[in-house]
Amino acid sequence: MRLDDVLDLFYSSTADDWHVIKPMGVNYTSNSYADGIIREHPHHAVYRPDASLTIAWGYTEDEPVAPGNVHLTVGEHAPEAMQTVRVEHADLFWHGALIERLEHVSVDRDPAASIPMPRRTSGRSVVTRRALAVAELLAELASADPLEVRTTASLVGVQVEG
């Protein structure tokens, strides 16, 4: 199967297409770094129609970043927790090989939500509809409210296009 065909499977999938694996123990998608700390994704799912396609997501970079560094706008009256965000990864695998890495931004608000990493276009922070749909899918698979993804994106000045 061609890479584009596999990616199409993922991008056209719904939450019902996925079997979520409950987190416990070693997940075999860990990374060990020079500091000896093992970092791993807390969430995993298998595509029901073809178990060759899997996703792991939620691994968060250790260091928080200022919202402006990832093209987010947080008003001065926003809760203190929203003054820093964390970069998060979602990794898509086909037959165990990493085929796509997606970056998200975890915004710590109540409730917390991860939105696609925006890009700067003509002075605006934007994400594509497809990227937003993926973030909503991952939220739903993690038993979170997918509507919070759209709400959070709006709160931090991210616009949806395409």
Q: Give the domain ranges of the chain.
A: 3-161
| Contact indicator for 10, 106 with CB cutoff of 8 Å | no
* Structure confidence at residue 156 (pLDDT): 84
* Structure confidence at residue 96 (pLDDT): 92
* Structure confidence at residue 58 (pLDDT): 87
* Structure confidence at residue 34 (pLDDT): 55
CA 111, CA 146: separation in Å to the nearest integer? 11
- Give buried/exposed letters for 104-119 (b at 16+ CB in 10 A, else e): bbbbbbeeebbbbbbe
* Structure confidence at residue 81 (pLDDT): 58
Using DSSP's 3-state secondary structure scheme, residue 80 falls into helix
CA 97, CA 13: separation in Å to the nearest integer? 19
CA 16, CA 87: separation in Å to the nearest integer? 27
Low-confidence ranges of the chain (pLDDT < 50): none
CA 133, CA 113: separation in Å to the nearest integer? 13
